[in-house]
């Protein structure tokens, strides 16, 4: 599969699929694409969505980026919570400027964030990776309250981020298109990175809808920061993907405990999240 993907125009095909997923007319086509997707991924839970019928959605993308009811997620009374639904990949410490993509496969935090100063400030902190399957809720939320200092959209490739690709494509997270959001909190700095993947239409940021959707580069909020609360919406995957959460050593110490270190454990947005002190 990886060999085949090396030969394909991944970005072009992903953008094309993104365009198709946004088609609303003819209505018959939109309904058929939604139905086929739901049949293919029957674990999609519409009971927790604001709109509980497939007929209520105007396109496949509208269906994929569905909102859920506020009461369908309990937000833990902890410093840090999971930013999204999904399955844990790797987690652990940030050491010598690297984190783990998969067992035995490190990648550079500076390359990943394209910001050496920010990467250096995270040394001694911790990270975790959460993979969102196609049936998961695909809106990402803030893991902790604080002030958004900056967001950065980084164009790149669109490799898959499933288990096979993560174990077979070195540095895949630092190669793919991604959007990072840095938040200053009373306990330290948290950086959430939404990583794009094959067949991802785009990544939208809640605080600035142009980032990742019409512009690239770094965005600094007017006035220097934007206040956000824990579990506020951070952004939306218009198909895809993976979230990598990084915290500095001060925030890691404040959230002492286990970081659900075993790969394969399911998590839901709002669950308590902590790291080994």
Tens of pLDDT along 159-187? 888 777 888 888 999 999 999 999 999 99
Indicate if the pLDDT at residue 239 is higher than 90.
no
Number of H helices, E strands in the chain: 9, 14
Which among 173, 155, 174, 172 has a CA at the least distance from the CA of 212? Answer: 155
Question: What number is the average pLDDT over the span 201-215?
Answer: 78
3-class state of residue 115 by DSSP: coil
pTM of the model: 0.93
CB 49 within 8 A of CB 68: yes
- Cis upstream peptide for 241 (omega within 30°): yes
For residue range 2-44, list pLDDT tens digits in order.
566 566 667 677 677 778 788 999 999 999 999 999 999 999 9
Strand partners, 14: none
Residues annotated as catalytic are 85, 141, 241
For residue range 119-134, list pLDDT tens digits in order.
999 999 999 999 999 9
Strand partners, 218: 152
Residue 269: left (phi > 0), alpha (psi -120 to 50), or beta? beta
Predicted confidence band at 202 (pLDDT cuts at 50, 70, 90)?
confident
Indicate if the pLDDT at residue 257 is higher than 80.
no
């Amino acid at each position: 599969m990886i060999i085949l993907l090396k030969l394909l125009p991944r970005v072009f095909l992903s953008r094309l699929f993104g365009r198709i997923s946004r088609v609303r007319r003819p209505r018959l086509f939109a309904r058929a694409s939604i139905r086929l997707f739901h049949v293919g991924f029957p674990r999609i839970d519409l009971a927790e969505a604001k709109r509980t019928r497939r007929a209520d959605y105007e396109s496949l993308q509208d269906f994929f980026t569905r909102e859920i009811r506020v009461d369908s997620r309990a937000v833990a009374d902890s410093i840090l919570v999971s930013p999204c639904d999904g399955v844990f990949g790797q987690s652990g410490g940030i050491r010598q400027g690297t984190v783990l993509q998969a067992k035995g496969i490190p990648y550079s935090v500076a390359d990943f964030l394209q910001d050496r100063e920010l990467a250096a400030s995270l040394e001694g902190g911790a990270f975790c990776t959460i993979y969102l399957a196609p049936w998961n809720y695909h809106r990402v939320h803030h893991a902790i309250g604080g002030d958004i200092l900056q967001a950065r959209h980084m164009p790149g490739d669109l490799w898959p981020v499933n288990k096979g690709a993560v174990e077979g494509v070195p540095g895949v997270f630092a190669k793919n298109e991604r959007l990072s959001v840095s938040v200053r909190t009373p306990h330290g700095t948290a950086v959430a990175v939404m990583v794009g993947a094959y067949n991802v239409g785009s990544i939208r940021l809640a605080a600035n809808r142009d980032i990742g959707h019409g512009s690239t580069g770094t965005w600094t909020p007017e006035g220097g920061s934007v206040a956000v609360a824990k579990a506020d919406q951070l952004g939306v995957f218009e198909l895809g993907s993976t979230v990598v959460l990084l915290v500095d050593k001060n925030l890691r110490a404040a959230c002492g405990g286990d970081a659900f270190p075993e790969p394969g454990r399911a998590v839901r947005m709002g669950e308590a999240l902590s790291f080994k002190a």
